[in-house]
Amino acid sequence: MALSLLLAASCVGEVSRDAPEFVGDEEGLSRTTSSVPWRSLATIISQGVSGRVRLQSAQPHIRYVHVRVLGRSQNVRKIYFAFHGDHVADYVGSTAADRTAMAQRLAPGEGALVVYPISRADAWPGFRNGINGDALIAMFREIEQATGQQGVRAELFGLSGACRVLYALLKTINNSYDASADVRDFVDEHLRGIHNGDAFCNATPTMHEQYMAAINRFGKIRYAFVHSATSRFYYMYQYHAGIARAVGGVELAYGGELTLNNGRFRFWRGSSHFRAWAGQFDKVFFGTTWSGGANPSPDPNGPQTCYHGGKAGTCQPATQPCEGTQAGVGCTRAGEVCCMPKGAGGNNPGGNNPGGNNSSWGSCSFGGQTGTCQLTSNSCAGGYYKSNLCPGPNNVRCCLSWGSCSYGGQTGTCQNTSETCVGGYRSGLCPGPSNIKCCLP
């Protein structure tokens, strides 16, 4: 059976009446409250109806799950979890067309569930910093049990701030696969997709490392990465491009589409941030014929590959000399650290080198101008910083110039009047605040 995760959920436990359904999107559409029945998961499955449920396994991290049935509910083969973004919202109404398209893809007599988990608060606090990934697996187990089927497959698709949920799952399967029989069974027999709709946490390059660790170890999982074509979320594209570069050695064009490894990895654009998720379900879950490969079986005592900052290294004992840079993450065996080759330590998912305070995190663009991503502790000489255009932590921003200007046949530079200007300043020729004026040569 198959279960796909869109990061939405259903539940069997207590019937609750204190939570309204919110229908809207993250582009400003109004949220409206509607009456959606609270039902037990058993009722939803047996009668093939929709409803909201509070899953005991997901408490207190997930407020409730909204479950929609596709096809024949008595023969559920797949479960698709659809996770909303930073804002608590139930997007069942906004994704009705997605479910219609998905239902047409099911084999005759087959059923599936689309499960919308609803966070208990904004920004998915139950999963911050990679915690509680085991609750996601427990949620799947509870739903699969209610279907009465075995071997159900799962895929999950997260929007924006659901990066915290994706990161928690990645961290759990990477760190607990060897020690936990439950995690091994979930990965080997059920999990078949981890999909990303503008859902990289820009303050956590370690999310890239967790992706690469899972990609290289678990051969049965496929991945879709959908980035938006809006400058505000350009950094999401940079993260996705870093994955494409790492798995295929190729460049993903901004706004472009790319398929690698016979469809295991797919990259494309959505028209907006919300539309990098809504409107993409059919393509994400059914847009490739790739059916999965076997998980590799490495020598448990042999060298292990690790990832740090988007670069591959080798796990080795912490006491062993490293001819490069050591990182204390990425290795699962006790007493080992990740040894990065010379020149690789500190690279970010975009493939640039932010190793020191004066290094660059790549280029950025805004309003037709090209800038440089850099630490805000560095001077942005003659220009200004713009947020949400760069990868990396919050103190990495886009340094942009105020542009050029002209006066009396001369070309000048728009800059802060606190800076020295040889030819004198002219007012009314530059964008920005009143202290930004045209400096003539």
- Residues 115, 205, single domain; the answer is yes
Position 278 scores a pLDDT of 94
Is the bond leading into 60 cis (omega within 30 degrees of zero)? yes
The per-residue pLDDT for range 273-319, each reduced to its tens digit, is 999 999 999 999 998 877 666 555 445 566 666 655 445 677 788 88
421 and 382 both lie in a single domain: no
In one-letter notation, the amino acid at residue 14 is E
Angular region, 151: left φ>0, alpha ψ -120 to 50, beta rest: left
- Of 198-212, 272-286, 417-431, give the range with the top mean pLDDT: 272-286
Specify whether 407 is located in the same domain as 391: no
Residues 259 and 329 placed together within one structural domain of the fold = no
Residue that wins the pLDDT comparison between 323 and 56: 56
Lowest mean pLDDT among 219-233, 350-364, 367-381: 350-364
Phi, psi angle pair for 290, to nearest 5°:
-60, 125
Does 236 share its domain with 313? no
Host domain of residue 424: 402-441
Regarding whether 227 and 242 lie in a shared domain, the answer is yes
pLDDT digits (tens, 9 = 90+) for 358-379: 344 667 766 667 778 778 877 7
Question: Is residue 334 domain-resident?
Answer: yes
**What is the count of structural domains for the chain?**
4
DSSP-based three-state secondary structure for 415: strand
Are residue 227 and residue 155 in the same domain, yes or no? Answer: yes
Of 206, 273, 200, 266, which is closest to residue 239 (Cα–Cα)? 200
CA end-to-end span of the chain, whole Å?
Answer: 72
Dump pLDDT digits (tens) for 82-135. Answer: 999 998 888 998 899 999 999 999 999 999 999 999 999 989 999 998 999 999
Within-domain flag for 4:
no
Q: Is the pLDDT of residue 10 over 50?
A: no
Q: How far apart are CA 142 and CA 139, in angstroms?
A: 5
Q: Taking the model in full, what pTM does it have?
A: 0.66
When pLDDT is cut at 50, 70 and 90, the band that residue 394 belongs to is: low
- When computed from its CA atoms, the radius of gyration of the chain, rounded to whole angstroms, is 24
State how far the Cα of 37 lies from the Cα of 92, in Å rounded to an integer. 13
> Mean pLDDT of all residues in the chain?
80
Whether residue 75 is found in the same domain as residue 207: yes
What confidence tier does 35 reach under pLDDT thresholds 50, 70, 90?
low
Q: Which amino acid is at 92?
A: V
Res. 189 pLDDT band, cuts 50 70 90: very high
